[in-house]
Structure 1
Amino acid sequence: DAADDVLLFRFSETRRKHPLAAKGGAKEAIRREREMLSPLREMADTVLNTSQYTVHQLRDAIVRRFRVSEVSGLHVGIVSFGYKYGIPLEADMVVDVRFLPNPNFIPDLKHLTGLDPKVRDYVMKYRSTKAFFGKLTSFLKFLLPLYTKEGKSYFTLGVGCTGGRHRSVVVAEAVKHSLPKPVAPVVVHRDISRSSPHVRSPQ
């Protein structure tokens, strides 16, 4: 699925005609298509809204949602993001980490990302970060088995900071490595390269 304005833009950008646009424009064709597919949508157990995705992000989202795990009944995805770009629509739960110390204000760290050990160490060294992270991981370890018990197949955690390059990336990676086996989270850093053209990867 996707928002109407996004679909209209995609048809315009690709210069493709909607299959149902023989009578009326694309907007009316999209409305008719939604009406025709409504019964299928009601039967679906997963609806993937692609409005915010690039092609590569859509591929990753499909892999996260439909990869079959042989070791766990619950597939866990973690998406780091920047609030300035919007909350990921697939997230079942969102954690706001904008209260953590911000590396963006440190000149030596500003152009790095949360994948760099220097940024990770800066964010994680504070007592407030350690206390928060301990409570977050304890909560997830309590919650995930309950989701599995109820038969839920997918759980996506969104972790957001302002731009999606520093704090959210650090926390998402830390959560990934803190969850006990057989949970094997798939992590996507949605906005890690969007905020700055000068982002440097860790050496």
Structure 2
Amino acid sequence: MKQASESASGPVILIVSGMSGAGKSTALEVLEDLGWETIDNFPLRLLRPLISTEASPDTRLAIGIDARTRGFDPARIIELVERALPSSGLRIDLLFLDASSREIERRYNETRRRHPLAAGRPVREGIKAERELLKPLRARAPTIIDTTEYSTNQLQHAMREMFGKDAPEDLAITVTSFGFARGMPPLADLVFDMRFLANPHWQADLREQTGRDAPVGDFIEQDPGFSSSFNRIRELVLDLVPRYADQGRAYLTIAFGCTGGRHRSVFTAERMAAALHDAGYEPSLIHRNLDAPVTDATEGVSAKRS
């Protein structure tokens, strides 16, 4: 793998090309997540006019071009790269995605997609023709990623290492509480069921209060199962959060549920948000069912637990 040069200030246009099946689409998706504007299969005849208008200081534009692109011509692409607009400070880089012919053939056979240059012939013939066509472009590329041994996840990681230095590094964390009786949150990544704790709803003086009120919090903390369980959950979450960030996740939702979503889940979510804040994160906190009606039917029939 050739390494990308250190990022410089000023506008940058990155042409992303390479062998079909080597990971161009994945590379563009990662760049988009990193804050780049991305265009795939952009007509080559429109490339020069586009480049001439994209010289603003904050330009980070990635353009996907390969053998499927109308008017594809490696020589013209190389000419554009070599004739960047020095007066505007515009820099045009070239990223080439490659993989062994055997691995590309395996990927095409696995997905049963047609190779763009096969034209009714076996996949290997299309791969051979494309490799010959792209030879000058590969030789010119300052950055080459060979994805032969890469999973999709490994390619994503490599792209973030190369191009993510100027991207926001914060993982957007949301901590939410909810009531199982009112449905599961559809987008939660981690869900913890707090219904094993004594339910404050069945305490007459606590029923109308919520997990944000001190008397309810005191009641929940007195439950013998709360302290040890919460400590384990906190340790697990604090261990997992940086692992999610390392995988390139932009968002993480941690959900705590109880029966009605007003007491146990609210208190635990508040505690978890505080723990994450103490660890240096800035989580958002959402209580989905905090203002839901208070009803015995929702909470179940037990006088002590639900």
Alignment partner for residue 189 of structure 1, among 287, 293, 303? 287
Match for residue 84 of structure 1? Answer: 181
Identity %: 34
Q: Hey, which bits of structure 1, 4+ residues long, moved more than 3 A?
A: none
Measured at CA, do residues 129 and 71 of structure 1 come closer, stay the same or move farther in structure 2, by a change above 3 Å? farther
- Structure 1's unaligned 5+ residue stretches are 1-42, 47-69, 198-203
For 2:234 and 2:186, how far apart are their aligned partners in 1? 22
Match for residue 165 of structure 1? Answer: 262
* Number of aligned residues: 132
- Structure 2's unaligned 5+ residue stretches are 1-28, 34-166, 296-306
- The amino acid of 2:293's aligned partner reads S
1:134 is paired with a residue of what secondary structure?
helix
Measured at CA, do residues 124 and 73 of structure 1 come closer, stay the same or move farther in structure 2, by a change above 3 Å? same
Query: Where does 1:62-77 land on structure 2 (aligned, <5 Å)?
Result: 73-77=170-174
Cα distance, 1:79 vs structure 2: 1.2
For 1:126 and 1:72, how far apart are their aligned partners in 2? 38
For 2:266 and 2:236, how far apart are their aligned partners in 1? 19
Query: Where does 1:1-203 land on structure 2 (aligned, <5 Å)?
Result: 73-179=170-276, 180-196=278-294
Cα distance, 1:80 vs structure 2: 0.4
Q: TM-score, normalised by structure 1?
A: 0.60
Q: Deviations over 1:141-161 (max 9, x none)?
A: 110010111111110011100
User: Is the Cα–Cα contact under 8 Å of residues 71 and 182 in structure 1 kept in the other structure?
Assistant: no
- The amino acid of 1:132's aligned partner reads S
For 1:121 and 1:184, how far apart are their aligned partners in 2? 25
1:101 is paired with a residue of what secondary structure?
coil
Larger Rg: 2
Superposition RMSD in Å? 2.3
Q: Deviations over 1:174-199 (max 9, x none)?
A: 001112443111111000111328xx
- The amino acid of 1:193's aligned partner reads D
1:127 is paired with a residue of what secondary structure?
coil
Q: TM-score, normalised by structure 2?
A: 0.41
1:95 is paired with a residue of what secondary structure?
strand
